[in-house]
Chain A
Amino acid sequence: MTTVEMRQVETAKPGQPWRATPRERAFAIGNFIAAFLLAFVLVKFTGLNGKLGWVFGFFFSYIAISFVAEYARSGKPAAQDSLLTSVSRFAVFIAIVPIASILGTVISKGWRGLHWGLFTQDMSQATVNDPITNGGMLAAIVGTFVMVGLALILTLPISILTALYLTEIRGKFSGVIRFLVQAMSGVPSIVAGLFILSSIVYPVTQQYSGLMGALALSILMIPTVARTAEEVLLLIPNDLREAGLALGATQWRTVAMVVVPAVKSGLVTAIILGVARVIGETAPLLLVSGGGDATNFNPVSGPMGSIPYYVWKSFLLGGTEESSQRTWAGLLVLLIWVMFLFAIARYISSRTKKG
């Protein structure tokens, strides 16, 4: 008898109490619709108008309505909680809109200006207001490559040594150097340009050149590379260092043969982040590299163009349809480079995290 009864008792089904019930869903949708109606009223009868007016009107009314509804349903703490939820959603939305807008406008306006000649011709035979098929960005791309490459060569030893000092030697200057590297990352880019101008260009060389641009860029690059390199070096377990020393290696051999090879991919990430930091730097290059329209491979003589300079010149001297196409095409090329570097850095760091 008892066994039969027990069979009849239903076993509890695994529930999902965190899932929204139909009633909760209806409540949320109701809030949404009410907010929409209120936004309609706001746009109709106040100064708000246009797309932005709609968006803001909707969000303000959504925040207000969900607060009131939640207050009526569950009381004050729940209402305050829902207030933070909706406000922070709104904030993320505002933060994302400019990114979407920038990506959208640069791509939609820039791709029309792209053509093959952009990468095979320079601007020495063309002005910014010529048809877009005349001239291209060759000088700019070459200049950016030469300057960023040179800056990298200058930056790399300094920043790796700085990172090694902070992680391997940990001498008595550690605090000071860490502080200074952080302070250096806040140096405004134009000050870097002014410094090169005042210390080298005016008193010594008296001419603008790619090398000067590279020097200015490396000032901006050192802190980024050094800090990233320090972070990856700190991730190396101390066991590796101790193992190296226990095998009888000197400190320098341990660092060179064990520590640095172990962070190779991290150092590559540091380099990429450094390059991404300076590739679009405009102000210092306007000050010290001169900005040429002819392709120039020699960094020590003659002005040198760069992608930001190309964009800047098309923007300032133009005013025609052609120059605006040039500006956007230049920005698109720059954006593609930044996104490419960013994607590589992401890929490398995600791969190392898994391994």
Chain B
Amino acid sequence: MSTIAPERGVPSPRILVTKPRRSDQFFRLVVTLGGLTSLLILGLILLFLAYRGIEVIRMEGFALITSSDWSVVEDESGNVVSQSYGLAAMLVGTILSASIAIAIGVPIAVLSALFLEFYAGKKIRGILVSLVDLMAAFPSILFGLWGFLIMMPSAEYWAKLLNKYFGWIPIFDVPAPVFTRSPFIAGVVLAIMIIPICTSISREVFSQTPLDRIQAAYALGATRLAMIRAVVIPFGRSGVVGGAMLGLGRAMGETVAVYTVLNIVYQVNWQMLFGAGGNIASLILLKIGEADREETNALMAAGLVLFVLTLVINSLANELVGRLGKTGR
């Protein structure tokens, strides 16, 4: 009995290579290039807006974001006599209306998410979640026209009520009783627009809360409120803040819905119930049709400011949503 294997018929070992084949190398190259397209597009957006806007940015310097005067003066023959492009009023308006949207929308969204996740029965929950998701898919023109034609009268009524009882607080004061097309109304429309997004992000975050922690809290005799305060909120806090900031980014970049319900005035206005305000995106839409070369460049600069602003806010938001789960007890 020999244990020696017969010498013939032993296949020689396969040569193992770790290098991908030619076809795979090509595939990887194509996919990587495809993946880098987003970098290319964002880079090009930044580049072209900066290229077109650089003249105006040089001319205005910091006045672009500190002055609120946006005017082109022409003489009779159509030559430009003087021009100045200041975005301060629009920037303030953008931030003001977006903050109102956040102040109104986020609490409603977070509470709705809590209801959907921890209170609602299975059937009701399914219906409500579908409705909220459907609303997130509504185009902004729908919100804008609905806001202008249907919601504005009742929002105006609330604005008057707020002014009547809280008029002694400076931001609720108005210099003249003009309540239509105010930043407050734009903020309400934006709030309605961001509620679905914030709700679905918050709901997703809450639904990832570990079940064992929830049950542990109940087992210790916690009420729902105590459970939510001790388990859900610490776990989902950063996600909820991130969702709110995504909403903020969307509210700042909104064009059509704000254009229809906001009265654009080139004057810094912090009094949110008064019918004068602005928004960079709707300024662009308002002016681009009639703008000459120089003013178009100024609008490109405005677009650049808006782009950078939303980019920063969205990056922060995504960072926060992504950090979920590392915090909490």
Q: Which residues of A contact B (CB under 8 A)?
A: 47-48, 50, 52, 77-78, 80-81, 83-85, 87-92, 94-96, 98-99, 101-102, 105-106, 157-158, 160-162, 164-166, 168-169, 171, 173, 176-177, 179-192, 194-195, 197-199, 202, 219, 222-223, 226, 250-253, 255, 276-277, 279-283, 286-287, 308, 311-312, 315, 327, 331, 334-335, 338-339, 341-342, 346
Interface SS of chain A: helix
8 Å CB contact of B255 from A176, A189, A250, A315: A189
Nearest CB in chain A: distance from B157 CB, A: 7
User: Are A96's CB and B303's CB within 8 A?
Assistant: no
User: Are B228's CB and A84's CB within 8 A?
Assistant: yes
Known: A89-B119, A177-B38, A186-B253. 13 other contacts (CB 8 A): A52-B154, A92-B112, A160-B34, A179-B318, A186-B250, A186-B310, A186-B313, A186-B317, A195-B303, A276-B137, A283-B281, A311-B141, A334-B139
Nearest CB in chain A: distance from B105 CB, A: 9
The segment out of B76-84, B125-133, B176-184 that lies at the interface is: B125-133
Query: How far is A176 from B256 in the complex, measured between Cα atoms in Å?
Result: 31
Query: How far is A98 from B320 in the complex, measured between Cα atoms in Å?
Result: 29
A-B contact count (CB 8 A): 270
A-B contact pairs, 27 of them (CB 8 A): A77-B226, A80-B225, A84-B224, A85-B224, A89-B119, A90-B111, A91-B107, A91-B111, A95-B112, A95-B132, A164-B35, A166-B35, A169-B32, A177-B38, A182-B314, A185-B314, A188-B252, A188-B253, A190-B303, A195-B45, A222-B41, A283-B140, A287-B285, A308-B139, A308-B141, A334-B141, A338-B134
User: Are B116's CB and A92's CB within 8 A?
Assistant: yes
Q: Which residue of the partner chain A has the closest CB to B300?
A: A198
User: Are A331's CB and B145's CB within 8 A?
Assistant: yes
Nearest CB in chain A: distance from B158 CB, A: 7
Q: Which residue of the partner chain A has the closest CB to B30?
A: A161
User: Does B152 reach chain A (CB closer than 8 Å)?
Assistant: no
User: Are A165's CB and B32's CB within 8 A?
Assistant: yes
User: Does B284 reach chain A (CB closer than 8 Å)?
Assistant: yes
Contacts of B318 in A (CB 8 A): 179, 182-183
Q: Which residues of chain B (99-130) have a CB below 8 Å from chain A?
A: 107-112, 114-116, 119-120, 128, 130
**Contact mask for chain B residues 26-60; partner A; CB cutoff 8 A; 1 contact, 0 none:** 11101111111111011011001101100000000
User: Are A161's CB and B34's CB within 8 A?
Assistant: yes
User: Are B150's CB and A180's CB within 8 A?
Assistant: no
Nearest CB in chain B: distance from A324 CB, A: 8
Contact (A95, B303) CB under 8 Å given A80-B225, A165-B32: no
Nearest CB in chain B: distance from A330 CB, A: 9
8 Å CB contact of B24 from A47, A251, A334, A339: A251
Nearest CB in chain A: distance from B214 CB, A: 15
Q: Which residue of the partner chain A has the closest CB to B41?
A: A219
User: Are A177's CB and B35's CB within 8 A?
Assistant: yes
User: Does B254 reach chain A (CB closer than 8 Å)?
Assistant: yes
User: Are B300's CB and A161's CB within 8 A?
Assistant: no
Contacts of B215 in A (CB 8 A): none
Please indicate which of the listed interface residues A84, A253, A280 has the most CB atoms of chain B within 10 Å of its own CB: A84
User: Does B205 reach chain A (CB closer than 8 Å)?
Assistant: no
Please indicate which of the listed interface residues B31, B119, B134, B310 has the most CB atoms of chain A within 10 Å of its own CB: B31
User: Are A283's CB and B255's CB within 8 A?
Assistant: yes
User: Does B269 reach chain A (CB closer than 8 Å)?
Assistant: no
Query: How far is A161 from B39 in the complex, measured between Cα atoms in Å?
Result: 13
8 Å CB contact of B108 from A81, A91, A185, A219: A91
Query: How far is A83 from B114 in the complex, measured between Cα atoms in Å?
Result: 13
8 Å CB contact of B31 from A164, A279, A308: A164
User: Are B41's CB and A191's CB within 8 A?
Assistant: no
Query: How far is A250 from B42 in the complex, measured between Cα atoms in Å?
Result: 33
Contacts of A251 in B (CB 8 A): 20, 24, 27-28
Contacts of A50 in B (CB 8 A): 154, 157
User: Does B72 reach chain A (CB closer than 8 Å)?
Assistant: no
Query: How far is A287 from B256 in the complex, measured between Cα atoms in Å?
Result: 12
The 6 closest A-B pairs by CB, nearest first: A280-B139, A161-B34, A188-B253, A165-B35, A186-B314, A91-B111
User: Does B299 reach chain A (CB closer than 8 Å)?
Assistant: yes
User: Does B71 reach chain A (CB closer than 8 Å)?
Assistant: no
User: Are A173's CB and B255's CB within 8 A?
Assistant: no
User: Does B223 reach chain A (CB closer than 8 Å)?
Assistant: yes
Query: How far is A250 from B25 in the complex, measured between Cα atoms in Å?
Result: 10
Contacts of B140 in A (CB 8 A): 189, 280-283
8 Å CB contact of A195 from B44, B142, B249, B296: B44
Nearest CB in chain A: distance from B15 CB, A: 14
Contact (A81, B223) CB under 8 Å given A188-B254, A190-B284: yes
User: Are B131's CB and A98's CB within 8 A?
Assistant: no
User: Are B111's CB and A346's CB within 8 A?
Assistant: no
Nearest CB in chain B: distance from A323 CB, A: 12
8 Å CB contact of B35 from A173, A202, A250, A277: A173
User: Are A198's CB and B255's CB within 8 A?
Assistant: no
User: Are B253's CB and A99's CB within 8 A?
Assistant: no
Query: How far is A21 from B293 in the complex, measured between Cα atoms in Å?
Result: 75
Contact (A187, B32) CB under 8 Å given A47-B164, A91-B111: no
Contacts of A180 in B (CB 8 A): 38-39, 42
Q: Which residue of the partner chain A has the closest CB to B321?
A: A182
User: Does B168 reach chain A (CB closer than 8 Å)?
Assistant: no
**Contact mask for chain B residues 236-257; partner A; CB cutoff 8 A; 1 contact, 0 none:** 0000000000100110111110
